[in-house]
Structure 1
Amino acid sequence: MINFKQLLQGTLGNYSELTTEELTEEYGLYLFDNEEITIGYKLVRDVLIFTNHRIIFVDKQGATGKKTAFRSIHLDSIVEVEMETSGFGIDDSEITITYLKNVNQRSNEESHANYKFEFPKKTDILPLYRFLGNISMANRERINHY
Protein backbone atom coordinates (compact mmCIF):
# COMPACT_ATOMS: atom_id res chain seq x y z
CA MET A 1 0.00 0.00 0.00
CA ILE A 2 1.32 3.45 -0.89
CA ASN A 3 1.75 5.89 1.98
CA PHE A 4 1.11 9.21 0.18
CA LYS A 5 2.20 11.35 3.14
CA GLN A 6 5.53 9.50 3.30
CA LEU A 7 5.89 9.70 -0.49
CA LEU A 8 5.29 13.47 -0.43
CA GLN A 9 7.85 13.94 2.35
CA GLY A 10 10.29 11.74 0.43
CA THR A 11 9.97 13.79 -2.74
CA LEU A 12 10.72 16.87 -0.65
CA GLY A 13 13.94 15.22 0.62
CA ASN A 14 12.65 14.49 4.12
CA TYR A 15 12.89 11.40 6.27
CA SER A 16 9.90 9.82 8.06
CA GLU A 17 10.52 7.98 11.34
CA LEU A 18 10.18 4.18 11.53
CA THR A 19 9.96 2.00 14.63
CA THR A 20 12.94 -0.02 15.83
CA GLU A 21 10.81 -3.16 15.43
CA GLU A 22 10.17 -2.44 11.73
CA LEU A 23 13.83 -1.69 11.13
CA THR A 24 15.12 -4.73 13.03
CA GLU A 25 12.73 -7.02 11.18
CA GLU A 26 13.92 -5.83 7.78
CA TYR A 27 17.58 -4.95 8.44
CA GLY A 28 18.56 -6.93 11.56
CA LEU A 29 20.52 -9.46 9.49
CA TYR A 30 22.88 -6.67 8.34
CA LEU A 31 23.92 -5.58 11.82
CA PHE A 32 27.34 -6.40 13.24
CA ASP A 33 27.92 -8.30 16.50
CA ASN A 34 26.54 -6.43 19.54
CA GLU A 35 24.98 -3.77 17.31
CA GLU A 36 21.44 -2.58 18.05
CA ILE A 37 19.17 -0.20 16.17
CA THR A 38 18.25 2.87 18.21
CA ILE A 39 16.19 4.87 15.67
CA GLY A 40 15.61 5.01 11.94
CA TYR A 41 13.99 6.95 9.14
CA LYS A 42 12.75 6.24 5.63
CA LEU A 43 13.01 8.38 2.50
CA VAL A 44 10.76 6.81 -0.17
CA ARG A 45 12.77 3.55 -0.62
CA ASP A 46 16.02 4.53 1.08
CA VAL A 47 16.51 4.15 4.83
CA LEU A 48 18.66 5.89 7.44
CA ILE A 49 19.41 3.75 10.52
CA PHE A 50 21.14 4.83 13.73
CA THR A 51 22.67 2.04 15.78
CA ASN A 52 24.80 2.05 18.90
CA HIS A 53 27.92 1.91 16.64
CA ARG A 54 27.17 3.63 13.33
CA ILE A 55 24.82 5.44 11.01
CA ILE A 56 23.76 3.15 8.17
CA PHE A 57 22.55 4.47 4.82
CA VAL A 58 20.47 1.88 2.96
CA ASP A 59 20.27 2.74 -0.73
CA LYS A 60 17.77 0.59 -2.66
CA GLN A 61 18.73 0.72 -6.31
CA GLY A 62 17.11 -0.10 -9.61
CA ALA A 63 13.44 -0.32 -10.58
CA THR A 64 12.67 -3.17 -8.17
CA GLY A 65 14.89 -2.10 -5.27
CA LYS A 66 16.30 -5.63 -4.98
CA LYS A 67 19.87 -4.36 -5.35
CA THR A 68 20.78 -2.60 -2.12
CA ALA A 69 23.90 -0.69 -1.05
CA PHE A 70 24.80 -0.28 2.63
CA ARG A 71 27.12 2.58 3.60
CA SER A 72 28.15 3.63 7.11
CA ILE A 73 29.51 6.49 9.13
CA HIS A 74 30.91 5.19 12.39
CA LEU A 75 29.75 7.11 15.44
CA ASP A 76 33.30 7.33 16.79
CA SER A 77 34.22 9.56 13.82
CA ILE A 78 31.62 12.30 14.45
CA VAL A 79 33.27 15.49 15.73
CA GLU A 80 30.65 18.22 15.21
CA VAL A 81 26.86 18.47 15.09
CA GLU A 82 24.69 21.40 14.02
CA MET A 83 20.92 21.72 14.21
CA GLU A 84 18.51 24.04 12.43
CA THR A 85 14.89 23.92 13.52
CA SER A 86 12.02 24.61 11.18
CA GLY A 87 10.36 28.00 11.09
CA PHE A 88 7.03 29.10 9.72
CA GLY A 89 5.99 28.03 6.26
CA ILE A 90 7.58 25.09 4.52
CA ASP A 91 10.95 25.15 6.30
CA ASP A 92 12.35 21.78 7.33
CA SER A 93 14.47 20.82 10.32
CA GLU A 94 18.10 19.89 9.63
CA ILE A 95 20.95 18.19 11.41
CA THR A 96 24.43 18.43 9.89
CA ILE A 97 27.26 16.25 11.14
CA THR A 98 30.97 16.68 10.54
CA TYR A 99 32.93 13.47 10.73
CA LEU A 100 36.50 12.30 10.25
CA LYS A 101 37.05 10.37 7.05
CA ASN A 102 40.44 9.00 8.09
CA VAL A 103 40.65 5.88 10.20
CA ASN A 104 43.73 7.01 12.15
CA GLN A 105 41.99 9.65 14.24
CA ARG A 106 44.58 12.13 15.44
CA SER A 107 43.90 15.82 15.96
CA ASN A 108 46.78 16.81 13.65
CA GLU A 109 45.84 14.41 10.82
CA GLU A 110 42.19 15.23 10.18
CA SER A 111 40.25 14.76 6.97
CA HIS A 112 36.63 15.95 7.35
CA ALA A 113 33.36 15.41 5.52
CA ASN A 114 29.84 16.70 6.21
CA TYR A 115 26.44 15.12 5.87
CA LYS A 116 23.10 16.92 6.20
CA PHE A 117 19.87 15.19 7.23
CA GLU A 118 16.56 16.95 6.49
CA PHE A 119 13.47 16.09 8.50
CA PRO A 120 9.81 17.07 8.14
CA LYS A 121 8.67 20.02 10.20
CA LYS A 122 6.72 17.80 12.62
CA THR A 123 9.73 15.60 13.50
CA ASP A 124 11.23 16.24 16.93
CA ILE A 125 14.95 16.26 16.09
CA LEU A 126 16.13 17.46 19.49
CA PRO A 127 16.70 13.91 20.91
CA LEU A 128 18.76 12.97 17.84
CA TYR A 129 20.71 16.23 18.02
CA ARG A 130 21.50 15.65 21.71
CA PHE A 131 22.46 12.01 21.02
CA LEU A 132 24.86 12.99 18.23
CA GLY A 133 26.12 16.02 20.18
CA ASN A 134 27.06 13.89 23.18
CA ILE A 135 28.87 11.48 20.86
CA SER A 136 30.78 14.32 19.19
CA MET A 137 31.86 15.77 22.55
CA ALA A 138 33.13 12.38 23.76
CA ASN A 139 34.95 11.85 20.45
CA ARG A 140 36.64 15.26 20.61
CA GLU A 141 37.80 14.56 24.15
CA ARG A 142 39.13 11.13 23.15
CA ILE A 143 40.89 12.38 20.02
CA ASN A 144 42.45 15.45 21.66
CA HIS A 145 43.56 13.45 24.70
CA TYR A 146 46.50 11.92 22.79
Structure 2
Amino acid sequence: MAKLNFGGLVQGALGNAVEVNAEELSNEYSKYLFEGEVIQNGFKLIRDVIIFTDIRIIFVDKQGASGKKTSIKSIYLSHIIDVEMETAGSGLDDSEITVTYLENVNRIGHNEIFGAQKFEFGKKMDITPLYRILGTLALKNRNEINGK
Protein backbone atom coordinates (compact mmCIF):
# COMPACT_ATOMS: atom_id res chain seq x y z
CA MET A 1 0.00 0.00 0.00
CA ALA A 2 1.33 3.42 -0.87
CA LYS A 3 2.22 5.67 2.02
CA LEU A 4 -0.43 8.32 2.59
CA ASN A 5 0.49 11.70 3.99
CA PHE A 6 -2.36 12.56 6.36
CA GLY A 7 -0.10 14.93 8.31
CA GLY A 8 -1.46 18.41 8.80
CA LEU A 9 -4.63 17.68 6.85
CA VAL A 10 -6.04 15.55 9.61
CA GLN A 11 -4.63 17.79 12.32
CA GLY A 12 -6.62 20.72 10.98
CA ALA A 13 -9.75 18.65 10.59
CA LEU A 14 -10.00 17.05 14.01
CA GLY A 15 -11.04 20.14 15.93
CA ASN A 16 -10.61 19.32 19.63
CA ALA A 17 -8.11 16.53 19.03
CA VAL A 18 -4.47 17.03 19.94
CA GLU A 19 -1.77 15.72 17.62
CA VAL A 20 0.53 13.15 19.20
CA ASN A 21 3.91 12.48 17.63
CA ALA A 22 4.58 9.07 16.09
CA GLU A 23 7.34 8.24 18.60
CA GLU A 24 5.03 8.79 21.58
CA LEU A 25 2.29 6.74 19.91
CA SER A 26 4.77 3.96 19.15
CA ASN A 27 5.90 3.87 22.78
CA GLU A 28 2.35 3.43 24.02
CA TYR A 29 0.63 1.52 21.21
CA SER A 30 3.33 -0.46 19.35
CA LYS A 31 2.01 -3.67 20.92
CA TYR A 32 -1.08 -3.27 18.70
CA LEU A 33 0.88 -2.84 15.45
CA PHE A 34 1.29 -5.62 12.92
CA GLU A 35 4.71 -6.75 11.73
CA GLY A 36 6.21 -4.03 9.53
CA GLU A 37 3.37 -1.56 10.19
CA VAL A 38 4.44 2.05 10.67
CA ILE A 39 2.58 4.82 12.49
CA GLN A 40 2.33 7.96 10.35
CA ASN A 41 0.22 10.22 12.51
CA GLY A 42 -2.17 10.18 15.42
CA PHE A 43 -4.53 12.25 17.52
CA LYS A 44 -5.84 12.07 21.04
CA LEU A 45 -9.39 12.98 22.06
CA ILE A 46 -9.42 13.00 25.87
CA ARG A 47 -8.71 9.26 26.48
CA ASP A 48 -9.41 7.89 23.02
CA VAL A 49 -6.84 7.84 20.21
CA ILE A 50 -7.03 7.72 16.41
CA ILE A 51 -3.85 6.39 14.78
CA PHE A 52 -3.12 6.54 11.06
CA THR A 53 -0.63 3.92 9.89
CA ASP A 54 0.55 2.89 6.44
CA ILE A 55 -1.97 -0.01 6.58
CA ARG A 56 -5.02 1.12 8.56
CA ILE A 57 -6.81 3.61 10.73
CA ILE A 58 -6.79 2.38 14.34
CA PHE A 59 -9.34 3.55 16.92
CA VAL A 60 -8.27 3.05 20.54
CA ASP A 61 -11.23 3.38 22.90
CA LYS A 62 -10.29 3.37 26.57
CA GLN A 63 -13.35 2.32 28.51
CA GLY A 64 -14.54 2.41 32.09
CA ALA A 65 -13.64 4.73 34.95
CA SER A 66 -10.01 3.57 35.11
CA GLY A 67 -9.45 3.37 31.35
CA LYS A 68 -7.73 -0.01 31.75
CA LYS A 69 -10.26 -1.76 29.52
CA THR A 70 -9.33 -0.96 25.92
CA SER A 71 -11.17 -1.59 22.66
CA ILE A 72 -9.18 -1.58 19.40
CA LYS A 73 -10.95 -1.23 16.04
CA SER A 74 -9.29 -1.02 12.62
CA ILE A 75 -10.34 0.15 9.21
CA TYR A 76 -7.93 -1.14 6.58
CA LEU A 77 -7.05 1.52 4.05
CA SER A 78 -7.34 -1.06 1.27
CA HIS A 79 -10.99 -1.70 2.21
CA ILE A 80 -12.27 1.88 2.10
CA ILE A 81 -14.76 2.03 -0.78
CA ASP A 82 -16.77 5.20 -0.25
CA VAL A 83 -16.52 8.53 1.50
CA GLU A 84 -19.27 11.05 2.21
CA MET A 85 -18.81 14.61 3.38
CA GLU A 86 -21.31 16.92 5.04
CA THR A 87 -20.27 20.46 5.81
CA ALA A 88 -21.55 22.42 8.78
CA GLY A 89 -24.52 24.70 8.32
CA SER A 90 -25.18 27.93 10.11
CA GLY A 91 -26.69 26.24 13.18
CA LEU A 92 -25.07 24.10 15.84
CA ASP A 93 -24.24 21.19 13.56
CA ASP A 94 -20.66 20.10 12.87
CA SER A 95 -19.00 18.83 9.70
CA GLU A 96 -18.86 15.08 9.13
CA ILE A 97 -17.04 12.56 7.00
CA THR A 98 -18.40 9.03 6.82
CA VAL A 99 -16.10 6.28 5.57
CA THR A 100 -17.71 3.13 4.20
CA TYR A 101 -15.50 0.07 4.07
CA LEU A 102 -15.67 -3.63 3.31
CA GLU A 103 -15.67 -5.88 6.35
CA ASN A 104 -15.27 -9.11 4.38
CA VAL A 105 -11.72 -10.21 3.87
CA ASN A 106 -11.62 -11.00 0.15
CA ARG A 107 -12.88 -7.69 -1.27
CA ILE A 108 -15.06 -9.63 -3.75
CA GLY A 109 -18.01 -8.04 -5.49
CA HIS A 110 -21.55 -9.38 -5.00
CA ASN A 111 -20.85 -10.66 -1.47
CA GLU A 112 -20.02 -7.39 0.24
CA ILE A 113 -20.39 -6.80 3.95
CA PHE A 114 -20.19 -3.09 4.69
CA GLY A 115 -19.21 -1.12 7.76
CA ALA A 116 -19.19 2.62 8.27
CA GLN A 117 -17.35 5.01 10.57
CA LYS A 118 -18.34 8.63 11.05
CA PHE A 119 -15.77 11.30 11.90
CA GLU A 120 -17.18 14.52 13.36
CA PHE A 121 -15.31 17.81 13.08
CA GLY A 122 -15.74 21.32 14.38
CA LYS A 123 -17.72 23.59 12.10
CA LYS A 124 -14.72 25.87 11.47
CA MET A 125 -12.54 23.04 10.14
CA ASP A 126 -11.96 22.60 6.42
CA ILE A 127 -12.49 18.87 5.95
CA THR A 128 -12.23 18.97 2.16
CA PRO A 129 -8.52 17.92 2.01
CA LEU A 130 -9.18 14.83 4.18
CA TYR A 131 -12.26 14.02 2.08
CA ARG A 132 -10.15 14.22 -1.10
CA ILE A 133 -7.42 11.92 0.29
CA LEU A 134 -9.93 9.31 1.47
CA GLY A 135 -12.01 9.67 -1.70
CA THR A 136 -8.98 9.12 -3.93
CA LEU A 137 -8.12 6.04 -1.89
CA ALA A 138 -11.72 4.77 -2.20
CA LEU A 139 -11.65 5.23 -5.98
CA LYS A 140 -8.35 3.35 -6.24
CA ASN A 141 -9.77 0.50 -4.13
CA ARG A 142 -12.97 0.33 -6.20
CA ASN A 143 -10.96 0.12 -9.43
CA GLU A 144 -8.83 -2.72 -8.00
CA ILE A 145 -11.89 -4.61 -6.75
CA ASN A 146 -13.67 -4.24 -10.07
CA GLY A 147 -10.60 -5.21 -12.11
CA LYS A 148 -10.12 -1.86 -13.84
Q: For the superposition of Structure 1 and Structure 2, which TM-score range results when normalised by the shorter chain?
A: 0.7 to 0.9
Query: Within 5 A, what are the aligned runs for 1:120-131?
Result: 120-131=122-133
SS at match of 2:125: coil
**1:31 Cα deviation (Å)?**
2.0
Structure 1: 5+ residue runs without aligned partners? 1-13
One of 100, 103, 112 as aligned partner of 2:102 = 100
CA contact (8 A) 1:54 1:73 kept: yes
Aligned to 2:44: 42
Aligned to 1:28: 30
**1:15 Cα deviation (Å)?**
5.3
- When normalised by structure 2's length, the TM-score is 0.77
Once residues 108 and 33 of structure 1 are traced to their aligned partners in structure 2, the CA distance between those partners, rounded to angstroms, is 31
SS at match of 1:145: coil
Aligned to 1:59: 61
**1:23 Cα deviation (Å)?**
3.1
Once residues 39 and 126 of structure 2 are traced to their aligned partners in structure 1, the CA distance between those partners, rounded to angstroms, is 18
CA contact (8 A) 2:58 2:73 kept: yes
Structure 2: 5+ residue runs without aligned partners? 1-14
**1:37 Cα deviation (Å)?**
2.5
CA contact (8 A) 1:16 1:119 kept: no
The count of aligned residue pairs is 133
Corresponding position: 1:72 with 2:74: yes
**1:25 Cα deviation (Å)?**
4.0
Bigger mean CA deviation after superposition, 88-97 or 132-141: 88-97
**1:115 Cα deviation (Å)?**
1.4
Bigger mean CA deviation after superposition, 99-108 or 35-44: 35-44
Cα RMSD of the aligned pairs, angstroms, is 2.1
Q: Deviations over 1:42-91 (max 9, x none)?
A: 33211122211111110102211122121111111110001112232422
Following TM superposition, where does structure 1 have runs of at least 4 consecutive aligned residues deviating by more than 6 angstroms? none
What percentage of aligned pairs have identical amino acids? 56
